[in-house]
Amino acid sequence: MFGLREKAGMSQAVISKEDAERIIYEASKDSPFFKAQQRKEEELKARCAHVVRRAESLLPVEKSGAIRHAEREVKSLLSTLAKDVKGARCFIHIDMDAFFVQVEERDNPSLRGKPVVVGHPRSIISTSNYEARKYHVRSAMAGFIAKKLCPDLIFCELRMKAYAEVSRLSEQAYAAVDPGYEMHSLDEASLDATEYLARHPEMTADDVCEQIRAKVFELTQLTCSAGSGLSRLAAKIASDMRKPNGQFPIGRSVHAHVSFFDGLPLKKITGVGQVTERILAALGLVTCKDVRDQPHQLAVLPLASRDGLLRLSLGIDRPRQPVHRHSMGVERTVSATVNKESVWAFVEGLAGQLKSRLDAAGVAGETMCFKWKDDKFRSFTRQERMPQQTADRDKLLDAANRLLGKVLAETDNFTARLIGLQVTLGASCAEGERLKSTLVAQAGGVACPCCGRRFASEHDVDGHIEMSGCGLEKKPRTRAKAKAKAPKAKTKTELKERPVKRVGRAKRGQTSLKDFAPKTYNID
Ligand code: TTP
Ligand code: MG
């Protein structure tokens, strides 16, 4: 049941996987967490059995339909990949080795060579170094269990500021290759090295990885690993292949790319979680190649999941779309059970944290959801729509308290091991402004009420009136007054029919309608 997931470095274990699983079982078998895991395991087994029964009862016509669909899809996906190769895409992924612990070892060299984790013995471990991984100690494991697996384990306190500082430093190395680099977390970066390689024809993707890793080390005295490939996904998976302090180039041909994915277990694919992996395994699909070789098995999956799986098994990135976040929340697992008396204060703290997150993102909440897990790790939620969208702490707290009051009234013996507040997001002022700009741009811009010239935003119209004195002869000077005298605004259709004239700042290239294209809205 506690199938230990592999993490880089675990293959050199000093205790066997079976022994580790037995120790974990002994240490946790009486805990509520274990019982919750048992219940989930039973549910998963039932789901797998259902999927297998469904696969066995597929009609020949369903199977052949799935095969035809998969063949078409794979062909089109492969042609996407081939097209990208013509453009010679090359992505690089960087991932720091045992990140948090490596920072601790750098700052306290006496830790080197010993099994170390960042975390607390009575809480959850953030990460372990490669010495500790030999004992199957890894991220997200309870500290007391880690101590049973490795009695000499050393625990270090979390120092987020230090890790963030290292992350900031290493970004210089990424920016030198791709100014548009993307940070996926504090320790992971994804780069498009295509243009850099075109500017440096003497270099290979592997040389660039080498160069970045050396620069990261120079800047931080920490090692990282790298991977390169035709897609961001391929590069990410490759970065894990030669960990720690190594790099793996998949190559820049479609053939090399497809061969790499052919032999890859599905569980290695980012996006295939433990549950999906188990369901696919029940269908006999273990490697990426299995997915393409046995497409009839996919007929039991919804069409979108089928296509997603085919795409992932070929290592092709999801099409990039702006991320619109619909909800935001905070939740805390608590080591000591929260009861009726202490829960009010706890929720008050969460409301403050939620407000900070909403403010940082410039958004407001619409519906409040109070969620909790009881001492048997069962999840519950209650929600209500707030009278109006808000990021105000007191109003958030009012809504949370109302829900909590109801929960306490219906529950005799309230206990919780996890408590969270979550809001669905409404458009805030900042987001509203962005949406407005987008709509304005789509409608062809804003017209000057005096001369009718068109601008990217109302702000630009103000600038134009100020700069050129447009409408002076007619008075008044300000846009507000000018607007009052202006002829009735044209309809959207009328506006669309007129060609957009770019003048003033827009013409000089300081502002263009392009600047108002929908922006990626990414929080976290
Ligand atoms: P990872 O890159 O997953 O792990 P790692 O850098 O420690 O080890 P590896 O050499 O295998 O890359 O995560 C980066 C950091 O994120 C990690 O050092 C600690 C933190 N983290 C958590 O706090 N909790 C978690 O569950 C995980 C997976 C990571
Ligand atoms: Mg890492």
Q: Which residue has the tokens 């830790």?
A: 111
The tokens for 439 are 């709509």
Which residue type occupies 377?
Answer: F
pLDDT value for 273: 86
Which of 303, 306, 304, 300 lies closest to 53 in space, CA to CA?
A: 300
Q: What is the pLDDT of residue 453?
A: 57
What is the best residue among 127, 130, 183, 333 to mutate for testing ligand 1's pocket, by most ligand atoms within 8 Å of CB? 127
Distance (Å) of CA 347 to CA 178, 370, 372, 388, 509: 43, 9, 11, 20, 50
Edge-to-edge strands, sheet with 379-390: 327-339, 415-426, 364-373, 379-390
Ligand 1 pocket member 317 (CB < 6 A): no
- What SS3 string covers 187-228? CEEEEECHHHHHHCCCCCHHHHHHHHHHHHHHHHCCCEEEEE
Is residue 130 in contact with ligand 1, taking CB distance under 6 Å?
no
- Is the Cβ atom of 178 under 6 angstroms away from ligand 1? no
CB of 187 closer than 6 A to ligand 1? yes
Q: Based on the residue annotation, tell me whether 188 is a catalytic residue of this protein.
A: yes
**Catalytic site residue from 21, 41, 62, 188:** 188
For 198, the token pair is 């075109």
CA of 95 to the centre of ligand 1 (A): 9
Give residue 234 CA to ligand 1 midpoint distance, Å.
19
The protein residue whose alpha carbon is closest to atom 15 in ligand 1 is: 99
Whether the CB-CB separation of 220 and 169 falls below 8 Å is answered with yes
Alpha helix (H) residue ranges in 29-129: 32-56, 60-86, 99-107
How far is it, in rounded angstroms, from Cα 223 to Cα 242? 12
Tell me how far apart the alpha carbons of residues 163 and 101 are, in angstroms, rounded to a whole number. 10
Instruction: Name the residue at shortest CA distance from atom 5 of ligand 1.
Output: 98
Below-50 pLDDT ranges, the chain: 2, 428-443, 466, 469, 471-524
In 3D space, the residue among 347, 339, 478, 472 whose CA is nearest the CA of residue 400 turns out to be: 347
Can you tell me the distance from the alpha carbon of 405 to that of 397, in angstroms, rounded to the nearest whole number? 12
Give the Cα separation of 263 and 289 in Å (integer).
Answer: 7
Among residues 344, 333, 280, 338, the alpha carbon closest in space to that of 306 is found at 280
What pLDDT is attached to residue 487? 46
320 CA → ligand 2 middle, Å:
24
- CB of 140 within 6 A of ligand 1: the answer is yes
Distance between CA atoms of residues 82 and 80, nearest Å = 5
What does DSSP say about strands 154-156 and 116-118: parallel, antiparallel, or unpaired? parallel
pLDDT of residue 382: 93
Q: Which ligand is nearest to the CA of 186?
A: 1
Neighbours of ion ligand 2 (CB under 5 A): 95-96, 99, 187
The pLDDT score that the predictor gives to residue 60 is: 85
The verdict on the CB of residue 99 being under 6 Å from ligand 1 is yes
Write down the pLDDT at residue 337: 65
Q: Does the CB atom of residue 95 touch ligand 1 within 6 A?
A: yes
Per-residue burial over 103-130, b = 16 or more CB atoms within 10 Å of its CB, e = otherwise: bbbeeeeebeeebbbbbbeeeebbbbbb
Question: What is the 137 CA–ligand 1 centroid distance (Å)?
Answer: 12
Q: How far apart are CA 360 and CA 362, in angstroms?
A: 6
